[in-house]
């Protein structure tokens, strides 16, 4: 049985000014934090009540109204189909309950519709929070409330450009606004979405992607020993003894082992994959300066068409796994990393890199890179750089054509980590992503029927990204 995720989008019609100004108009006891408007987001559309029941894709609704959610509340999933829900909408309009002329500020407003749509139309167990439903009565219970009721009523959304009436209703024209205490608020040039939106799926991916399986270490030790001299073998044996017992490893020994592994990289192609598999585990405990030779070898050979990292799929995937583990330890800002990012982007598209294990490992490296970069507060206040815009477009381009669900998920994770932590997402960046049709690609993933657990994660994560964009 198919299911669809249901969300409640909460907007502030006063755009942040209600708390201060309502206290001045109504007194502190009757102050309200927001003038709420809500819509039900399901089936890739946003349903709301104004001039009758209307619907529109969420991103278009926000662009056409200039309003952006202050909160996205997940309500769960429904088995009600879009046809069944829109039939319920048409019935409530035909009965007069939510017709274009039925709007009433206290008892039949946009929030009442969202509540009834959730509980009755979509058969959810929860609807609109009670504090939202109580705002009109709280507002109007003040001595000045009845005097400013026309202002509040005229702030409600009626007809929205581009929105389609559900059923046969014809949206009414928007009335000229009455004197509004929140006028002269200029729409923001920077969209502060990432701090306001709830993106539970994206937020769950908050830890680095690590390849830390230790079960293959004994085999790797055996293979690597075969191409080393006696001194190197002894160092490797001491390292393995200490490592397997959880004892500390001094820097000299760690450096000796890393140098031995680097020797294996260059002397015996048959041992290369085992050496890389061992190195990916050592990275998690070794100091950065101990493994520079190994890292430099991987970097130079990833970009060479004549290297074993180009001819061996397994070795190339393991090389990216090593780099993903390395990036998980700390943020690195250097031309070294920038070069690796360019190489990873080249390994993302299915058209240029047909092996899914390579695409999976390269996308893990990119995710860890940007996850660690956002740890600093100073990074959050920076605008998205041109290089990050390029990466954002690269990971989203042709994403619907990616046949591997894990790669698709990680590409969405990368996009989310570039966008979500910012204090502000520039309008120009959002516009570029929209103009390139990438929002539609993300929406297609959010509407796709999942075939496995990873598909479900892709669907939920795509829904989060649509809210940001």
Could you give the count of Cα atoms lying within 13 Å of 28 in the half-sphere of its Cβ?
A: 0
Residue 37 phi/psi, 5-degree rounding, is: -125, 135
Structure tokens at 157: 């959304």
Determine contact, residues 110/116, Cβ cutoff 8 Å.
no
The last residue of one of the domains, among 323, 343, 361, is 323
DSSP 197: S
Beta strands in 199-354 (DSSP E): none
Q: What does the pLDDT read at residue 298?
A: 94
What tokens appear for 214 in the block? 């230790």
With beta carbons less than 8 A apart as the criterion, state whether 181 and 173 touch. Answer: no
* pTM more than 0.85: no
State whether 303 and 369 are in the same domain: no
Residues of the chain with pLDDT under 70: 16-31, 105-106, 139-164, 167-198, 330-335, 374-383, 421-432, 435
Listing DSSP states for 7-33 in one string gives EEEEEETTTT-HHHHHHHHH-GGG--S
The residues assigned a catalytic role are: 37, 110
- pLDDT value at position 2? 86
Range of the domain at 375: 191-208+328-469
41 in Cβ contact with 29 (< 8 Å): no
Q: Are residues 238 and 311 in the same domain?
A: yes
247 and 334 in a common domain? no
- Tally of structural domains, the chain: 3
Q: What is the pLDDT of residue 324?
A: 94
Of 323, 351, 380, the last residue of a domain is 323
CA atoms within 13 A on the CB side of 84: 9
- Token pair, residue 112, equals 């009442």
- In this structure, the answer to whether residues 309 and 417 fall within a common structural domain is no
170 and 314: one domain?
Answer: no
- State the pLDDT at residue 5: 93
């Amino acid at each position: 049985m198919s299911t669809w995720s249901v969300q409640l989008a909460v907007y502030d019609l006063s755009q942040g000014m209600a708390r201060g100004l309502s206290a001045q108009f109504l007194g502190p006891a009757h102050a309200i934090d927001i003038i709420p408007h809500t819509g039900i987001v399901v089936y890739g559309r946003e349903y709301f009540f104004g001039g009758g029941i209307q619907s529109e894709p969420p991103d278009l609704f926000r662009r056409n109204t200039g309003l952006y959610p202050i909160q996205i509340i997940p309500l769960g999933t429904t088995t009600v189909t879009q046809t069944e829900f829109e039939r319920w909408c048409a019935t409530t309009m035909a009965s007069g309950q939510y017709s274009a002329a039925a709007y009433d500020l206290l008892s039949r407003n946009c929030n009442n519709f969202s509540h009834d749509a959730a509980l009755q139309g979509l058969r959810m167990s929860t609807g609109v929070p009670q504090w939202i439903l109580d705002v009109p009565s709280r507002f109007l219970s003040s001595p000045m409330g009845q005097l400013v009721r026309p202002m509040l009523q005229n702030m409600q959304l009626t007809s929205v450009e581009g929105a389609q009436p559900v059923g046969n209703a014809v949206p009414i024209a928007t009335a000229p606004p009455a004197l509004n205490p929140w006028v002269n608020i200029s729409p923001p040039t920077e969209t502060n979405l990432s701090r306001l939106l709830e993106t539970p799926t994206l937020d769950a991916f908050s830890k680095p992607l690590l390849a830390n399986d230790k079960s293959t270490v004994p085999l790797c030790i055996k293979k690597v020993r075969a191409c080393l001299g006696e001194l190197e073998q002894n160092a490797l044996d001491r390292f393995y003894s200490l490592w397997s017992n959880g004892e500390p490893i001094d820097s000299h020994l760690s450096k000796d082992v890393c140098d031995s592994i680097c020797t294996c990289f260059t002397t015996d192609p048959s041992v290369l994959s085992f050496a890389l598999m061992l190195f990916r585990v050592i990275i998690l405990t070794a100091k950065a300066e101990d493994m520079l030779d190994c890292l430099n070898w991987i970097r130079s050979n990833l970009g060479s068409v004549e290297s074993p990292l180009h001819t061996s799929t397994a070795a190339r995937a393991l090389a990216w796994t090593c780099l993903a583990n390395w990036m998980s330890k700390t943020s690195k800002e250097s031309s070294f990393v920038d070069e690796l990012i360019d190489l990873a982007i080249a390994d993302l598209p299915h058209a240029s890199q047909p092996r899914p294990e390579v695409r999976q490992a390269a996308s893990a490296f990119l995710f860890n890179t940007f996850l660690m970069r956002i740890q600093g507060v100073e990074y959050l206040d920076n605008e998205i750089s041109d290089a990050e815009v390029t990466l954002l477009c690269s990971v989203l381009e042709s994403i619907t054509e990616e046949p591997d669900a894990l790669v698709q998920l990680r590409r969405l994770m990368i996009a989310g980590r570039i966008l979500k932590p910012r204090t502000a997402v520039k309008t120009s960046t959002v516009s570029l992503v929209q103009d390139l049709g990438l929002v539609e690609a993300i929406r297609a993933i959010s509407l796709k029927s999942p075939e496995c657990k990873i598909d479900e994660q892709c669907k939920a994560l795509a829904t989060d990204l649509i809210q940001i964009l």
